[in-house]
A and B are shown apart, each in its own frame.
Chain A
Amino acid sequence: MAAHPSAIGWVPRPRLFINRVGLWLFILSESFLFGAALSSRYYLQGAERPPEVNQLLGLAITTVLLASSLSAYRAEMSAAHGHLSGLLRNLAATIALGLLFLIGVGVEWHEAFIYFPPADPYGTVFFTTTGLHAFHVLTGVIALSIVLYLGRDGRFTHGNYWGVEGAVKYWHFVDVAWVFIYPTLYLVR
Chain B
Amino acid sequence: MEQRGLAAALRRGRWVFVALMVLTVVEFILLWLNIPRILFRFLLLVINGVDAGLILYYFMHIAQLWRKEA
Contacts and interface: CB of A to CB of B under 8 A. Distances in A.
Q: Do A and B bind each other?
A: yes
Contact of A74 (B10, B20, B70): B10
Contacts of A179: 48, 51-52, 55
Given A14-B70, A20-B65, A63-B24, A70 B17 contact: yes
Contacts, number: 88
Interface string A47-86: 1000000010001001100110110111001101111001
Interface string B35-67: 001001100100110011001101110101100
Interface residues of A, number: 38
Query: In terms of DSSP, what is the predominant structure of the interface of chain A?
Result: helix
A176 B56 contact: yes
B24 A172 contact: no
Contact of B28 (A24, A55, A169): A55
Q: Looking at chain B, what size class is its interface with the partner chain?
A: 35 or more
Given A59-B24, A77-B13, 13 more contacts: A17-B70, A24-B65, A59-B25, A66-B24, A72-B59, A77-B6, A80-B9, A82-B2, A173-B60, A176-B52, A179-B48, A180-B52, A187-B30
Interface of A: 14, 16-17, 20-21, 24, 47, 55, 59, 62-63, 66-67, 69-70, 72-74, 77-78, 80-83, 86, 158, 169, 172-173, 175-176, 179-180, 182-183, 187-189
